Amino acid sequence: MEISIPDFIPEIIKNKYKEIANKLTELELLTEIDLPAFDMMMFHYGLAVEAMAAVKDKGTFQKDRKILRKNPGVQIFRENSAAFLKYAAKFGLFPIDRENLEISMINLKSYKEQQIRHSRNKK
């Protein structure tokens, strides 16, 4: 499967996009039909990385008319990190999620085998 990086993916993570896409493809966890969700996951990852870079550059707090306020980048990071983590779980990017995916695949295989046996017994 040929994977091309969409234009909306932030430049800062394009190498990471390719790396993760290749690894997931090798593990057969990323197929062509999954690409829109994968693209969204990586978009959120990119925004989180950009937001954290901005926070690192400007600081966690900013002065606004003598009032100390939280850098908006902190909230952007939080929201996009949470969105990334939700998508990442679906792709099995974390050990517990991979374990759950394996259990689901075993259950699906078992179910299919039962269906085949059941249809043979009806004959």
pLDDT per position as a tens digit, 53-108: 999 999 999 888 888 999 999 999 999 999 999 999 988 888 777 777 665 556 55
Between strands 61-64 and 67-70, the pairing is antiparallel
Q: 95 vs 24, 57, 89, 90, 92, CA distance in Å?
A: 13, 32, 9, 12, 7
Percent of the chain having pLDDT more than 90? 59
Q: At residue 67, what are phi and psi to the nearest 5 degrees?
A: -110, 130
CB 60 within 8 A of CB 71: yes
pLDDT of residue 103: 57
What are the residue ranges spanned by the domains of the chain?
1-91, 94-123
Is the model more confident about 109 or about 28? 28
The full length of the chain comes to 123
